[in-house]
Structure 1
Amino acid sequence: MCDSRSSLADAAPTALAEDRPFPDDLDTKGRSGITTLPSGEPEEWQGSHPRREFKARGSQVVRCEACRLPQLNCLCPYRVKAESRIRFWLITHPLEHYKPTNTGRLIGDVLEGTDVFSWYRVEPDPRLLALLEDDRYQPFIIFPDDQPDYADRVVDINAIAGVGEGVPTHTSAGEPRIPVFIMLDGTWRQARRIFRRSPYLDGLPVLPLHSQRLTRYHLRKAASEAHLCTAEVAAELLRQAGEEAAASVLDDYFDAFNDCYRASRIHYVLEPTAPMLRLLARREASDSSE
């Protein structure tokens, strides 16, 4: 996802077969293991599509209801919280909610205060609009800086610390504003559409990710190894912003997710890897301190 060109969409231009349910294939009653419709969908989605069972590859897999991974290699034992002064708001394409390979949700598993909003072109989420008007937050859109028409909005990572002009760091009452990274969660085509067709985002600073990191994501085919998935982008942003501890936890959690899912595809029961062991140790330390 990120050469900085695809640095915010989860993976490749087209998804794998098991990740490709369309609106008329959705089973809102959960009969086939597909998650029910997310909150905030337009009314016309309710009851207007055939309720035929989802038949794509992977639909018969028995999944954990909490982590959505096959129960053969459940991710739940490795879920660990981390602290960061930075918040993440994910604006997620509706179809991305149903893809079990989506990595955007890993951010919310790790970082408190993460919010997820479904994107609809003509019906923006009122809760998101309210947050964008909230003086306590300073949001940045994570998006490439390769087009001239918004070059005047582009900032670098130092802007979250108040370095540079045009980015207020304090509220009207003099309190430090909370930096927020807005990530557009979907394929690159979907993310570009969200960016271009959401006028409520037009005035916000654009923060591109520049990184030499190569993707470790194996569940969808990316156009390039430089294209990072959503969770990898988030971890790299945290690291560049000085949030090393949170970045390390999210990186380990992503690796655990990646390995658990890949092993499940070949019906292999995975032994704990080094990232998993680190997460288990963190979880044990956190439990013992409570």
Structure 2
Amino acid sequence: MSKRAVCLTCHYPQSTCVCSAVKECNNQHDILVVQHPSEAKNAKNTVRLLSLSLNKLTVISSADEEAMLTLKATCLNAKQGIYFVFPNAESQSFETEVSKRKKDMCVSANLHKKTEQEKQTFIFIDATWRKAKRIWLENPWMDFCKSLHFDEQIDSLYHIRKTSIDNGLSTLEAVAYVLQKSEEIDVAPLLSLFEHMQSFWLQRR
């Protein structure tokens, strides 16, 4: 049996190619995704869409021991500027953190200090909630890093996968929200691409 023809650019089947909806998103902050192996194989996964749009994105497998050790060293040696976007008992408000940083930049500007936006790295865990929590628990060093959660209630646009988690978002939606709030860039093209991908699945219902 012959395999379905796959687009060499977006890697979706040619019948569901999303290339026509891809627009580059020039993010300044680094986005890093720790992805569970099962998500990499999931056709509805949104990290693939992020890889088509973001100019600063790194994806590592949670099963890649060497990559995880490198990430651990980077996070624990960093003095600031690295955040896990993952709700837990110790996580702090993302919105409050963004507001604080903006105020600090205004103070620096008033004091004639260098006000270039400090580079930040936001780390996301791409998995079902159960698997994401397991990744977090299996890597206790993550507890020593600064972690953030969303205070704002965000309406998810993820129509083709369901979650029972309150304020549960796809990885793409979470990344889009972080970039919109921290960099104030237009993430509409990213969300439009997300909707475009879902349209093929919704047509089958």
CA distance in 2 between counterparts of 1:225 and 1:154 reads: 17
Tell me the CA shift for residue 126 of structure 1. Answer: 4.3
CA distance in 2 between counterparts of 1:177 and 1:136 reads: 13
TM-score of the superposed pair, with normalisation by structure 1? 0.57
- Structure 2: unaligned runs, 5 residues or longer: 105-114
Q: Cα–Cα, structure 1 residues 175 and 228, in superposed 2: closer, same or farther, change >3 Å?
A: closer
Q: Which SS does the other structure have where 1:184 is aligned?
A: strand
Aligned pair partner of 2:190 in 234, 239, 250: 250
2:98 aligned with 1:154: no
Q: How does 1:124-139 map onto structure 2 within 5 Å?
A: 124-129=67-72, 131-132=74-75, 138-139=81-82
Corresponding residue for residue 41 of structure 1: none
Corresponding residue for residue 157 of structure 2: 216
Tell me the CA shift for residue 224 of structure 1. Answer: 6.1
Q: Which SS does the other structure have where 1:196 is aligned?
A: helix
Q: Which SS does the other structure have where 1:162 is aligned?
A: helix
TM-score of the superposed pair, with normalisation by structure 2? 0.77
Give the superposed CA RMSD: 3.2
Corresponding residue for residue 144 of structure 2: 203
Aligned pair partner of 2:32 in 63, 66, 89: 89
Corresponding residue for residue 68 of structure 1: 11
Give 1:162's aligned amino acid. Answer: R
CA distance in 2 between counterparts of 1:116 and 1:204 reads: 19
Give 2:144's aligned amino acid. Answer: G
Tell me the CA shift for residue 225 of structure 1. Answer: 8.0
Structure 1 contact 93–190 (Cα < 8 Å) conserved? yes
Structure 1 contact 84–243 (Cα < 8 Å) conserved? no
Seq. identity, %? 25
- Structure 1: unaligned runs, 5 residues or longer: 1-30, 33-59, 166-173, 267-290
Tell me the CA shift for residue 203 of structure 1. Answer: 1.6
Q: Which has the higher strand share?
A: 2
Q: Cα–Cα, structure 1 residues 212 and 154, in superposed 2: closer, same or farther, change >3 Å?
A: closer
Moved over 4 A (4+): 121-124, 133-137
The number of equivalent residue pairs is: 194
CA distance in 2 between counterparts of 1:62 and 1:201 reads: 41
Structure 2 contact 22–53 (Cα < 8 Å) conserved? yes
